[in-house]
Amino acid sequence: MFSGSAHPELAAEACAHLGVPLSSVRSSRFANDSLEVQLQANCRERDVFLVQPLVRPVQEHLVELLLMCDPARGASASRITVVMPHYSYARSDKKDVPRISMSGRLVADLLVAAGASRVLAMTLHAPQVRGFFSVPVDHLHALRELASHFRQYELSRATVVSPDLGNAKEAAAFARLVGAQVAAGAKQRFADDRVRISSVIGEIAGRDVVVPDDEIAKGSTVLELLDRLRELGPRSIRVACTHGLFAAGALKRLSEQPDVLEIVCIDTVPVPAGEHTDKLRVLSIAPALAEAVRRIHNGESVSDLFDAPPAAQHRLPCRPLLVIPVPAWPRAGPGPRPGSVAEAAAGPGR
């Protein structure tokens, strides 16, 4: 397993759960500002995992990831899995205005062209983006990690409020995990930082509200939703997200809301220590990522991660990686190669 410079702490924690070392990567910059990357561990016939969320500066980290894929392929890695906890280009998934780029598809093509043979992603902003990749994509989510945190509270009068109808399905799944009601806001977006929520559909008055979202960037949607919720009289408000991007002072603005008791996010994106507030709670996704990596390596079902009972999920340390030796074909002697069409045609006597 190798890590780019975007989030080495997450990669190191996942390796600790797996019981394997995090291999070194040397990344340097030439005088003309171009990058050079060297993977400093043997990759030949190895199952290689490259950990790199696409976070700020996104373009720098994307190019670094591409330059990690290329030498792994050149070193004859048997498989290259890109572990991408946050795929920022998933927001660009459709052509909704003339002559607009669809970078979600373009970047997927770039990763495959660079050598990626599999992708492990976490809570894509638009789930259909996985269809942009021409290689297998394992799409994980962090609902169970978030639900495990919120189950510590008394939730008999809780309502999970989706900021918009598009996220209502995920909110409903989260509400089932915590045993709460579900509600949704009617959102209309005018620009990246301008949204309007005209109403909230569901029971809010006197209830403990949890607002989950896939990511919080500038926080304009959540802040607009908070204004609508206050009009309905909730007893308490907590905010949760998978990807805490918190751009342009969003975390500070949310923390300054007096009726917001807590802001919970997953560590798919590193939040600088200097930006932390007393209301912020960061949950680790490393155990889930490590278990997914182990299952991919051992050829086990990754979808089973969603089927396990919530109380049992990710409670035990990951089992060690199982290394299965692949016997080489015999080189000496005449006759067809074992398992070949020629051998099958020769019949059972060979």
Quick: pLDDT tens for 42-54: 999 999 999 999 9
Q: Which residues pair with 37 in a beta bridge?
A: 27
- Please tell me whether residues 80 and 174 are part of one structural domain: no
Angstrom CA distances, 6 to 24, 47, 82, 198, stand at 14, 21, 13, 38
Q: How many CA atoms lie within 13 A of 141 on its CB side?
A: 21
331 is a domain residue? no
Count of structural domains, the chain? 2
Same domain? For 43 and 16 the reply is yes
Q: Evaluate if residue 150 carries a pLDDT over 80.
A: yes
Give the model confidence (pLDDT) of 175-222 as tens digits: 999 999 999 998 777 666 677 888 899 999 999 999 999 999 999 999
Residues 119 and 183 in one domain: no
Residue 109: per-residue pLDDT:
98
Domain match, 122 and 24 both:
yes
Is residue 345 situated within a structural domain? no
| Positions of E strands within 56-169 | 79-84, 118-122, 137-140, 158-162
Same domain, 87 and 65: yes
Q: Establish if 334 belongs to a structural domain.
A: no
Residue 66: which region, alpha, beta or left (left: phi > 0; alpha: psi -120 to 50)?
alpha
Does any domain span residue 8?
Answer: yes
127 and 185 in a single domain? The answer is no
pTM metric for this prediction: 0.85
Handedness of CA 116, 120, 126, 132 (dihedral sign): positive
Residues 151 and 279 in one domain: yes
Q: Which helix (H) or strand (E) holds 228?
A: helix 220-232
> Are both 278 and 150 inside the same structural domain?
yes
- Region 78-103: mean pLDDT is 92
- Which two three-digit tokens encode residue 92? 């660009």
Domain around 203: 143-283
When pLDDT is cut at 50, 70 and 90, the band that residue 339 belongs to is very low
Could you tell me if residue 22 is inside a domain? Answer: yes
Are residue 109 and residue 20 in the same domain, yes or no?
A: yes
Q: Is residue 124 part of a domain?
A: yes
Whether residue 321 has pLDDT greater than 80:
no
Domain harbouring 208, CATH code: 3.40.50.2020
- How far is Cα 242 from Cα 256, in angstroms, rounded to an integer? 21
Q: Are residues 83 and 210 in the same domain?
A: no
Percent of the chain with pLDDT over 90: 75
Instruction: Answer yes or no: is 166 within a domain.
Output: yes
Q: Is 318 inside a domain boundary?
A: no
Q: Which residues have a catalytic role annotated?
A: 187
Q: Are 90 and 218 part of one and the same domain?
A: no
Q: Can you give the pLDDT at residue 285?
A: 97
